Amino acid sequence: MKSLLVYLKDYKKESVLAPLFKMLEASFELLVPLVMAAVIDVGIAKRDQSYIIRMCLILIALGIIGLVCSITAQYFAAKAAAGFGTKLRHALFAHIQSFTFTEMDTIGTSTLITRMTSDINQVQSGVNLVLRLFLRSPFIVFGAMIMAFTVDAEAALVFVVAIPLLSVIVFGVMLITMPLYRKVQSYLDQVLLATRENLTGARVIRAFNKEDSERKRFEESNQLLTDAQKFVGRISGLMNPMTYIIVNGAIIVLIYVGALRVDAGILTQGQVVALVNYMSQILVELVKLANLIITVTKAFACGNRIESVMKVKPDLKSGELLWKDAFPEEKPQEHVPFIEFDHVSLTYSGAGGESLSDITFRAERGQTIGIIGGTGSGKSSLVNLIPRFYEATEGEIRINGENIRKYNVEDLRSHIGVVLQKAVLFKGTIAQNLRWGKEDASDADLERALEISQAKEFVASKVGGTDFMIEQSGRNLSGGQKQRLTIARALVRRPEILILDDSASALDFATDAALRGAIRKMEERPTVFIVSQRAASILYADQIIVLDDGRVAGIGSHRDLLAGCPEYQEIYYSQFPEEAAANE
């Protein structure tokens, strides 16, 4: 939690002024019992109405000044807490953005969402309350005790006994509840996970009639959260009654001792009332402190969870080499493959074995590389290594002879167009989605990308054309339309490497063929990697890589593989009759 306080450094002034104004308010509040004692002992005892009026005006003035101080303190505390929460949220989001797919898979999306939202809100509330009450409440408690000693030292000994007892209760409850609140937040993660899966997979759940079982699973996770919250709530709930018992017991003793000393002529009635008021102030402040500690305990638990994510160091280390330096126009390198995999292996974090083993191949500039294989053979894993979504655990990947790890990651990815298996679009217009590929793309660039991706016709039929509003996740588009727009988004940046990861699965064969033909005619002639389950999609690739259980089963042209690669033959003949193959 301590490391997160760095995000308060721009709010030092607010962080100092908020508690100062609160303590100033508390100082005026501590004067009130003395004024009341004077009203009783002088004004009421002597029936001096003018004195009573003057003292009442002083009380009103103290109240107004206290209110102004309180509002000012609240303003500074809210400004500091909101700014802290904003900076922390931005920092956490930026840190998560630096994660590779490995860290995202390991930590989990649901818990990251909880920490980005619920946990940061809890920490922000904790900072707000700490700035307002953390110094004020102890100041009132100990200030009231000191003021009580100025009234009567012997009667004030009741405060000396009561305050340590109250401190033991308050801090004891805090120590017990802090780990329990951490557990509550972990149960909240589980509820969020179940909710997220049910919302994103609603159609699958209904298709398989799993509503009842999913409802039961959600209720179980929700019940765990409820039980944990009730348990920690019961422990936290002990704080108020126990503090009330001690404080009220102290008030009884105080009244008894005060009565004896008034009877003995040592104290006045007004002084006894002042002592009781000071004890009541302590009660009110300890109730506030108890609630503060509950909130701070939650904030600490949430802060530690955020800190644990911030401490995760991404495996990805960006290099310094820029694309333009690796490809100097005045000195083109001869006989150096554009992209080269040299005995590359990949093992996912926590996996029992390798997902890719000893992958070696070369791709020249402008070539089309087809990647095919059975389900789970490692096709997507292979292409995800090129933009460094995952890091190779063994071997080297080189672009123009330079290890891919030497390249600046952002600069490298700006020259790669990636179309992933799942078509993901964001809420906004078609133009806004396409400009994810290139922010300053012109309308002509968008039209060209739509034309190559075979999306121009259906976009033109939409109301507003490229200004047509896409709903969240593109739910107002068909699967094929979404895939063509994601391809267009990648083409807008005119990439030098284009990765199509099974991105035409929802397209009919004619549209798929037209798409591949249009990509081949692009003037930039990018190096294209086509991952597909369809043999027809890669028939005319310059190289076809056949993967089987993470290993290369064959590399070559369609004819070569059809003649000598059993794995490729099996895939091809499962999709085309042998008679058609014989006529090729």
283 vs 484, which has greater pLDDT?
Answer: 484
DSSP per-residue letters across 204-273: HHHHTT-HHHHHHHHHHHHHHHHHHHHHHHHHHHTHHHHHHHHHHHHHHHHHHHHHHHHHTTSS-HHHHH
Cβ-based neighbours of 327, under 8 Å, separated by 6 or more? 400
pTM over 0.75: no
- C-alpha dihedral sign at 541, 543, 544, 545: negative
pLDDT in tens, 403-433: 999 999 889 999 999 998 888 889 999 999 9
**Cα-based distances in Å from 549 to 44, 375, 379, 538, 581:** 95, 9, 10, 20, 26
Query: What tokens appear for 390 in the block?
Result: 């995952």
Query: What's the pLDDT score for residue 247?
Result: 79
Measured between its terminal Cα atoms, the distance across the chain in Å is 68
Residue 583 has pLDDT above 80, yes or no: no
Identity of the amino acid at 135: L
Task: Name the average pLDDT for the chain.
Answer: 86
Burial class (CB in 10 A: 0-12, 13-18, 19+), 302: buried
* Cβ-count burial 412-432 (b if 16+ within 10 Å, e if not): bbebbbbbbeebebeeeebbe
200 vs 195, which has greater pLDDT?
Answer: 195
Report the candidate in 311, 302, 304, 298 with the shortest Cα–Cα distance to residue 1. Answer: 304
Give dist(CA 419, CA 431) in Å, integer.
17
Cβ-based neighbours of 223, under 8 Å, separated by 6 or more? none
Dmax of the chain from CA atoms? 123
Give dist(CA 237, CA 175) in Å, integer.
14
Instruction: State how beta strands 497-501 and 527-531 pair.
Output: parallel
Identity of the amino acid at 93: F
Query: What's the pLDDT score for residue 540?
Result: 87
Mean pLDDT, rounded, for 73-91: 93
Report the candidate in 378, 306, 312 with the shortest Cα–Cα distance to residue 347. Answer: 378
pLDDT in tens, 267-279: 888 888 888 888 8
**Cα-based distances in Å from 576 to 512, 530, 535:** 17, 19, 9
Phi-psi region of 173 (alpha: psi -120 to 50; beta: other; left: phi over 0): alpha
pLDDT in tens, 290-332: 778 778 877 888 888 888 888 888 777 888 888 888 776 654 5
> If you count them, how many residues does the chain have?
584
Give dist(CA 64, CA 69) in Å, integer.
9
Give dist(CA 311, CA 119) in Å, integer.
16
Query: What's the pLDDT score for residue 580?
Result: 52
DSSP per-residue letters across 142-182: HHHHHHHHHH-HHHHHHHHHHHHHHHHHHHHHHHHHHHHHH
